[in-house]
Chains A and B, each alone.
Chain A
Amino acid sequence: MSALLKIENVVKRFGGITAVNGCSFEVAEGSVTALIGPNGSGKTTAFNIITGYLKADSGTIEFDGKKIAKPTPASLYRAGLSRTFQQARIFPELTVLENLVISSSFDWKQLLGLRVTAADRARAMITLEEFRLDKLHDLRAGDLSYGQRKLLEFASVLMSNPKLVLLDEPTAGVNPVMIETMEKHIRARNKAGVTFLVVEHDMQLVMRLCDPVIVLDHGSKIAEGVPEAVQSNPQVLEAYLGS
């Protein structure tokens, strides 16, 4: 399998702190790759760099075979790279349906058209049905529960038909049933051809769902491999448990 995303020697410093320190890794097309590591190991910073929210001090990022010179969140999203946030970020004042419509990356001609066209509605409803949010489509997104918001955020970033989805702690703070639901949806979409890069602290979920697992510590990769191998890697144990 070829690499859909390739990160080489990425460095990011905040003042005196080096959050990402010469980090290199690849995400193979069609995989569900996990990115784990102790708190402060640079996972979210790496996410922000990959998705264009932060500018790396040095290093290169290659997505879908192309080097991205000036990555911005918008251009990457349009190129097929979606993400979710640790604290589900949705548009609370828009309805559930509108949250999906706004995320379907329309061009400027559509911008002049109706707020929600019949075609928009039909397309969004298919995804909402898949996520069992269809009954809530008219509700303000701000009225949803936290777990539902996470689902909605996930569903909405799929509207641009992404090749790669970065999930930042998709199950943090949600109930066990919702964790299963989330897992089910990730698997279903993965089967349909979407590649995932997941930051997650729920190790049971990571072990069940992800292959390979990449471990970061102090901003660089310390291990990579199948879940079982990573689990017993002494460097990983040391990073997590300290010494």
Chain B
Amino acid sequence: MTRNGLLRAGLFFVVLVSFPFLTTSQWMINMFIFTLMYVALSSSWNLIGGYAGYPSLGHAAFFGFGAYFTAIIFTDSVGNGWSPFLFLPVVGVSAAILSVPIGYVAMKTRADVFAIVTITLLFMAQTLAFNMHAVTGGAQGKSIAVPPFDPATFGRPFYFGMLALVAVAMAASMYFRQSKIGLSLSAIRSDEDKAHGVGVQVTKVKVVAFAFSVGITAMAGGVWAYYEGFVYPQFAVDPLITIGMVLMTFLGGRATLWGPVLGAFILVPAQQYLSYELGANQFYLLAYAGIFLITMLILPRGILPTISDKLRLRKKVKESLA
């Protein structure tokens, strides 16, 4: 990574770390918790959906897995309040291990078929959550013991929990880009058969990318469940979560480090604003559809790749004139 890149990442995290100390506004912190959650989610989706070109629509299943796992373990007590956060690595690793056979089978298919297979996974997870009463509480949901945090700064631990996941997701993204895993994933995205034919360990890298991706997604689900206090099947395993992750990554730019970050920072506040303005109905979904259409028509590769292409072209023209 270049020095400029490190500087940018450093600045990004310094601003975000200091932010909760600069405001006492609860709704701002609340909005940022969700923004950071989606930064982590779309950055992790990008690992498989962007770099490998496997558009998973099933990530919400793993988000739900993380949410329920956390809720089930901490129904009665959260200790000093920090235990659910310390438990997150277990959630992430469990989801990653669970994802290996699932990813192995699902990634025998490609592109649109893969999208359909993974969305089936989502609905399977939701049906399980509704019906396994003994474990999930069914439609009544599952509650988590109340965290003993100071009401004045109640949101902070969750904010930093999400921020830590953003750091993990972005670090994974950066590592992928810099290693042969990323090189292999790009090759798979371009031409998987050819990649296979030049000895790229196609299955292995795909499964690794999928495991990383859903592991981080599940951890985000864990923090979310703890923050909400209640886990219901329709919200924990929600197609809208998947769609959010996909849309933000597409908008900002697939297979880039900052694309999913940018996409989340645009769409989450926009969504909150729209749902506030339009009341508690789901009209913001129409706006989602509109943004998706416009993105695909005008910026099919997303904001950042379009800009960097323009810059590259301009530099080329300048060089040829000089």
Chain A residues within CB distance 8 Å of chain B: 51-53, 72-74, 77-78, 82-83, 85, 89-94, 98, 101-103, 105-106, 108, 110-116, 156-157, 160
Count of chain B residues with a beta carbon within 8 Å of a chain A beta carbon: 25
Residues of A within 8 A of B202 (CB): 74
Please measure, in the bound complex, the distance between the C-alpha atom of A115 and the C-alpha atom of B186, giving whole angstroms: 11
Shortest distance between the CB of A70 and any CB in chain B (Å): 14
Cα-based distance from A160 to B198 in the complex (angstroms):
8
Q: For chains A and B in complex, what number of residue pairs have CB atoms within 8 angstroms?
A: 82
Residues of B within 8 A of A (CB): 177-184, 186-187, 189-191, 193-202, 204-205
Closest chain A residue, CB of each to CB of B202 = A74
Contacts of A114 in B (CB 8 A): 178-180
Complex partner residue of B183 from A53, A74, A102, CB under 8 angstroms: A102
Measured in the bound complex, the distance between the Cα atoms of B63 and A87 in whole Å is 42
Q: Please determine whether A103 and B198 come into contact, CB atoms closer than 8 angstroms.
A: yes
Distance (Å) between the CB of B175 and the closest chain A CB?
A: 9
A101 to B187, CA, bound (A): 11
Of A73, A83, A98, A160, chain B has the most CB atoms within 10 Å of the CB of: A73
Give chain B's interface secondary structure class. Answer: helix
Shortest B306–chain A CB gap in Å is 15
Shortest CB-to-CB span from A68 to chain B, Å, is 15
- State whether B183 touches A101 (Cβ < 8 A): yes
Please name 22 pairs of A and B residues whose Cβ atoms are closer than 8 Å in the assembled complex, sorted by A: A73-B193, A73-B196, A74-B199, A77-B197, A89-B194, A91-B187, A91-B191, A93-B189, A94-B186, A94-B190, A98-B186, A102-B200, A105-B199, A108-B204, A111-B179, A111-B180, A111-B205, A112-B180, A113-B180, A114-B180, A115-B183, A156-B198
The answer for the CA separation of A98 and B179 in the assembled complex, in Å, is 12
In the assembled complex, the Cα of A77 lies from the Cα of B181 at a distance in Å of 19
What is the CB-to-nearest-CB distance from B197 to chain A, in angstroms, rounded to a whole number? 4
Q: What are the residues of chain B within 8 A of A94 when measuring CB–CB?
A: 183, 186-187, 190
List A contacts of B177 (CB < 8 A): 115
Q: Which residue of B lies closest to A111 (CB)?
A: B180
Q: Once bound together, how far apart are the Cα atoms of A113 and B176, in whole Å?
A: 10
Query: What is the bound-complex CA distance between A111 and B199, given in angstroms?
Result: 12
Nearest B residue (CB) for A109: B180
Give the distance to chain A from B310, nearest Cβ to Cβ, in Å: 15
Task: Name the distance in Å between B209's Cβ and chain A's nearest Cβ.
Answer: 11
CB closest residue in chain A, given B189: A93
B180 touches A157 (CB 8 A): no
Chain A residues with Cβ below 8 Å from B198 are: 77, 82, 102-103, 105, 156-157, 160
Q: A92-B190, A111-B179, A115-B180 are in contact. Are A53 and B197 (CB under 8 A)?
A: yes
Give the distance in Å from the alpha carbon of A82 to the alpha carbon of B194 in the complex.
11
Contacts of B186 in A (CB 8 A): 91, 93-94, 98
**Closest Cβ of chain B: how far from A91's Cβ, in Å?**
4
Chain A proximity of B15: nearest CB distance (Å): 29
Q: Is the CB of A77 within 8 A of B199?
A: yes
Question: With A and B bound together, what is the CA distance between A53 and B191 in angstroms?
Answer: 14
- How far, in whole Å, are A230 and B306 apart by their CA atoms in the complex? 55
Nearest CB on A from B203, distance (A): 9
* Distance in Å: Cβ of B129 to nearest Cβ of chain A: 36
Given A98-B183, A101-B183, A115-B180, verify A91-B190 contact (CB < 8 Å): yes
Say whether B187 contacts A102, CB under 8 Å.
Answer: yes
Q: Are A115 and B200 in contact (CB under 8 A)?
A: no
Q: How far is the CA of A218 from the CA of B246 in the complex (A)?
A: 49
The 3 closest A-B pairs by CB, nearest first: A105-B199, A73-B197, A103-B198
A-chain residues with CB within 8 Å of residue B182 when the two chains form the complex: 115
Whether B199 and A89, one on each chain, are in contact in the complex, defined by CB atoms closer than 8 angstroms, is no
Once the chains are docked, how many angstroms separate the CA of A101 from the CA of B193? 17
Known: A51-B197, A111-B184. 11 other contacts (CB 8 A): A72-B196, A73-B197, A77-B197, A82-B198, A85-B194, A91-B194, A91-B195, A102-B187, A102-B200, A112-B180, A113-B179
Q: How far is the CA of A11 from the CA of B68 in the complex (A)?
A: 54
List the B side residues contacting A113 at CB < 8 Å. 179-180
Please tell me if the beta carbons of A103 and B199 are within 8 angstroms of each other in the complex: yes
Greatest chain A CB density within 10 A among B177, B183, B197, B198 is at: B198
